A and B are shown apart, each in its own frame.
Chain A
Amino acid sequence: MPAASWLLPAGLADILPPDAAFEAATVERLMAVFAARGYRRVKPPLLEYEDTLLAGPGAAMTGMTFRLMDPVSRRMMGLRADMTLQVARIAASRLRNAPRPLRLSYAGQVLRVKGSALHPERQLGQCGVELIGSDAPEADAEAIVLAAEAVGAVGLADVTIDLTMPALVPAIAAGLGLSAEATTALVAALDRKDVTRVDRIAGSRAPVFRALLRASGPAKPALARLASIDLPEGTRAELARLRDVASRVGAGRPRLALTIDPAEHRGFEYHTGVSFTLYARRARAELGRGGRYVSTMGEPSTGFTLYTDTLLRALVAPKPERVLFVPRGTPAATARRFRAEGWFTVAGLEAVDNVRAEARRLFCTHALIGKSVKPVGRGR
């Protein structure tokens, strides 16, 4: 087989040992953290009809979604590019009579038409929760603390949570009478923290947005600076909510690094309240994000998605500790007994002269020599 025929389409990859097993184990550990907090797992399908998948807030994914024609119904189908909206749909349809607040979790793969410069992958793992049917600040805090706990549970301790209010800038802009077009340009400039462009777009109304930019940073001083900004009537409630949620998160997880960025909007197109992004010092990109939104059924909801691929890149897969080479001729019951004690066993299928070397060659940590278990040194 010529090597060129091994080529996979851009952005797709084979995941090999030991990474594939580590990925599965990491996802299960995250799901276990969610389950321990009462989140129950759902499993939406890979494909849905395009008009359901991309309805309402799903429209943001239109440009990223692979489509194919269903030969059975002859309707266009979309391959999911994000799972959040599928879970929201489940909550609004088949689980519409389930008691609220409804806590759901999910894990799976999504596909995107195009990767980005930083993430050329077109197949990505997502893992997350949705908390549907509660508008309480306690719900916001629960989601944020849970995200930090989950990431901590798989070994990333030094996470930073960046809190944002994606609805704040548009609300302020509307309060100051900026046009919709100017607001779009302003939001883009604020996402870059580009003060010059903010000045150019907002003119005499720029100082309040400049002040927002300068108010971002570690939570305590940021909140103090935010409080001193003269905001239009009707946007103060948003700010009070942010303060409330920040203090609840601080109380729930005092050692968590919490920052606030009141001007960040990118990627929060359908969010309506307190939102957040997870960063870690060891990862070059964000590990996940989430926040408050209103479901298609009109229910106040919050939740978050963790990007398992980014998470895994920041982690180092542990080396297996107890892999035992069992030479040919060892009684089946002996191997079974070792497995019961927690060993992984690798059976020799042919007789070999040097059991130790054979064990090493097959990445075993130990070999059964005679009746005793001997370490063989690291293979690879």
Chain B
Amino acid sequence: MPPKTRSANPRLSARPGGSAVAGGKSVDHVIVALPKGRLLAEAMPLLKRAGIVVEQGWDSPDTRAMRFSTNRPDVSVILVRSFDVATFVAFGAAHLGVSGDDVLMEFDYSEVYAPVDLGIGRCRLSVAEPTDMVAGDDPARWSHIRVATKYPNLTQRHFAARGVEAECIKLNGAVELAPGLGLSRRIVDLVSSGATLRAHKLVEVEHIADVTARLIVNRTALKTYPTVIGGWIERIRAAADAA
């Protein structure tokens, strides 16, 4: 086992007989989960305005570290995959997190609050299909379609609401390749400029939702430490509003 799979913090590891909220008995230490990838560079200045400066090295391309200290002794940051931020927060392994609305809609965790729209990572979630298919396609006739996507739950819900059974092929990336190679004719994916779609001869046929990144909060953490966690929500809200 490579050492990076082990929790750096004994407080995060499961205790026998107890599945404690991160930080154990007190939030003397707030853990913020941040998504690796495109959102991270936008999230860092926002955190800085809220008073959290992450230690040097987080953006070094060859770092294997996953946990970073900050200028605040009571706050540390973990870097995880964007789809995992919501999971860390839902299970109480992190108290706060930054996550796209797309991920929140996909998992629909009851234990996660999304109180602040950070206004970063703006894009939309859309259905796309090959350009040459659009003319002959009448969505009203669909009863069953096959869709390649990173968002099987969300996709299924979206189509079920209009009486269509969506058979989803879950991919973790390169979704735009699917139609050209015959994996599925339609995809559901994030679109920001639309350039990737055009490059793969795809066209947006339906807009599902607008997406931005949210500050997310573990429900139990907010309820049992309303002052500490509520204070961070207010500071991050102010930082987002000031942008």
Residues of A within 8 A of B (CB): 116-118, 158, 160, 162, 191-196, 213, 217-218, 257, 259, 261, 266-267, 277, 279-286, 313-317
Cα of A117 to Cα of B89 in the assembled complex, Å? 12
B226 and A259 form a contact (CB under 8 A): yes
Q: Given the interface contacts A118-B90, A160-B223, A218-B227, does A281 sit within 8 Å of B114 by beta carbon? A: no
A194 with B20: CB separation less than 8 A: no
Contact B115 A194 (CB under 8 A): yes
Roughly how many angstroms separate A194 CA and B117 CA in the complex, as a whole number? 8
Contact partner, B115, options A116, A193, A316, Cβ 8 Å = A193
> Which residues of chain B are within 8 angstroms of A279 by Cβ–Cβ distance?
220, 223-224
Question: In the complex the two chains form, is B25's CB within 8 Å of A192's CB?
Answer: no
Determine which of B17, B25, B92 lies in contact with A315 in the assembled complex, contact meaning CB atoms within 8 Å. B17
Q: Mark B108-120, 1 if CB is under 8 A from A, else 0.
A: 0111111111000
- What residues of chain B have their CB less than 8 Å away from a CB belonging to chain A? 17-21, 25-26, 90-92, 104, 107, 109-117, 212, 214, 217, 219-220, 223-227, 230
CA distance A208 to B196 in the complex (A): 41
Known: A277-B223, A283-B220. A196 touches B117 (CB 8 A): yes
CB pair B18 A280 closer than 8 Å: no
Set A116, A191, A266, A316: member contacting B18, Cβ < 8 A: A316
Q: A116-B110, A118-B110 are in contact. List 17 more A-B contacts (CB 8 A).
A: A118-B109, A191-B110, A193-B113, A194-B214, A196-B214, A213-B115, A217-B227, A257-B224, A259-B226, A281-B21, A282-B18, A282-B25, A283-B220, A285-B92, A314-B18, A316-B18, A317-B17
Q: Considering only CB atoms, which chain A residue lies closest to B214 in the complex? A: A194
Query: Which partner residue on chain B sits nearest A259 by CB separation?
Result: B226
Q: Contact check: which of B18, B19, B226 meets A217 at CB < 8 Å?
A: B226
Describe B's contact surface by its main secondary structure: mixed
Are the CB atoms of A284 and B220 closer together than 8 Å? yes
Chain A residue, CB-CB nearest to B109 = A117
Smallest Cβ-Cβ distance to A188: which chain B residue:
B108
Between A and B, 22 residue pairs with Cβ closer than 8 Å are: A117-B109, A118-B110, A160-B223, A162-B223, A192-B113, A192-B114, A193-B113, A193-B114, A196-B117, A213-B115, A218-B227, A281-B21, A281-B26, A282-B18, A282-B25, A283-B220, A284-B21, A313-B17, A313-B18, A314-B20, A316-B17, A316-B18
Q: What residue of chain B has the Cβ atom nearest to residue A310's Cβ?
A: B19
**Are the C-beta atoms of A313 and B19 separated by less than 8 Å?**
yes
Give the contacting residue for B111; candidates A259, A280, A285; CB below 8 A: A285
How many angstroms between the C-alpha atoms of A103 and B1 in the bound complex? Answer: 56
Q: Are A280 and B224 touching (Cβ within 8 A)?
A: yes
| CB-based contact A217/B115 at 8 Å | no
